Amino acid sequence: MTIPCSRSWEVEAARDGRLTGVASESFGAHLSVCHSCKQVVDGLDSLARDLRTVDSANVDELSLRRLRSRVLEAVDAEQTGRVRIRAGRRGLRSRYAALALAAAGMGLVVFFSSRAPQQVAPTFVASQSAPPIVETRVEVSAAEGARFTRTIDGDEERFALLEGTLRLRVVRAAGGRRVLVTVPDGEIEDVGTVFDVAVRDGHTERVAVDEGRVLVRIAGTAPMTIGAGGSWDRVMVAELQTPNADAGAATSAAVSVGGGAAAPVRAPSHQSSAASASPLADREDAAYLDVLRLLQAGREDEARAAANTYLREFPAGFRRKEMTRIVRDH
């Protein structure tokens, strides 16, 4: 049994930087010959080593990337909120002016609505410089040239997209109103999410979901639910429906409809959340992680090339925006 050394208290003192100069040198010399103090040092080193191996601290790359999106979104939302608050603190004069304008506007609305036989929702045409329209519950960003109408009727808010691409971010409290995007050949119902809808020549081209999920009802296809990271693409559907396409692959996915009952669907080229465990999803994850590894290793040219490959192979991939940014910025 080792007899405790009277100087063993100095182990922690030296470790924590409390010993300096002569005292530190003296203890260093003592440590080289004192078995008891060496044991205390070893014990503390062992504790530090063990603490670093606590298994819950292992962090995987995908969790980090998901968290990154959440962080940036939260900060973005905070900053948007602050801008709104600042805007609300302008002087009384500007408030009165705004009130007067609002009253005049309401007067005009009442005047024209009494003359018009039927209320028609205005059609918006987005220009490059148009800022996103922001309301309490729904934020809409329209691509240049997009044409759409927006109407609120009781507990339902409806966007009729005639042409172009709309991006919607819907924040809905429980019991909040329904949000629907009607397209020439169907409709998309939001279930609390962020998603893009593109229409061209009277047909829905693409629905891509970043967060949450949406219910998609397009003429000629079975209703489907698309979850976060999933998308539905008309071109891909057409390719899979050709006789040469792999019928097994085309019918392998199942999507939930309405209340959530799963139903097999012919030609499900969308990448629903239900299909996220497919080999395709695995390959996409692997391609994505490959890009990250290259970036972390500082091999930016190779990372850019790998990101390009990702975009080519997975044009509707979950990380397409991030990959596009890497190609553009690195």
Partner 1 sequence: MRQPLKLVPPMKPAMDDADALARVARGDVGALGEVYDRHARSLLSFAARAVGRHHAEDIVQSTFVCAAKVASTYDARGASARSWLFGIAARLVQQRRRSFARLARALLRFDLAASSSPEGEARNDLQKGLLRLSEAKRVVLLLAEVEGFTCEEIATMLEIPVGTVWTRLHHARREMRVFYEETR
Q: Does position 235 bind partner 1 by CB under 8 A?
A: no
Nearer to partner 1, 37 or 214 (CB): 37
Q: Does position 54 bind partner 1 by CB under 8 A?
A: yes
Q: Does position 15 bind partner 1 by CB under 8 A?
A: yes
7 vs 41: CA distance, rounded Å: 12
Q: Does position 56 bind partner 1 by CB under 8 A?
A: yes
Instruction: Dig out the tokens for 294 from the structure.
Output: 């290259």
Among 1, 3, 57, 87, contact with partner 1 (rule: CB under 8 A): 57
Q: Does position 72 bind partner 1 by CB under 8 A?
A: yes
Q: Give the binding range for partner 1 (CB under 8 A) out of 62-70, 109-117, 155-163, 262-270.
A: 62-70
Nearest-5° angle of CA 7, CA 9, CA 10? 70
Q: Does position 94 bind partner 1 by CB under 8 A?
A: no
Among 23, 29, 62, 64, contact with partner 1 (rule: CB under 8 A): 64
Nearer to partner 1, 75 or 238 (CB): 75
First to last CA, the chain: 62
Which pairs from 177-185 meet CB under 8 Å and 24+ separation? 177/137, 177/152, 179/137, 179/138, 180/156, 182/158, 183/218, 185/218, 185/219, 185/220
How distant, in Å, are the alpha carbons of 85, 133, 232 from that of 188?
33, 20, 11
Q: Does position 14 bind partner 1 by CB under 8 A?
A: yes
Q: Does position 71 bind partner 1 by CB under 8 A?
A: yes
Q: Does position 41 bind partner 1 by CB under 8 A?
A: yes
306 vs 291: CA distance, rounded Å: 6
Please give the residue ranges that form the binding site for partner 1 (CB under 8 A). 12, 14-18, 28, 41, 43-45, 47-48, 50-59, 63-64, 67-68, 70-72, 74-76, 78-79, 296, 298
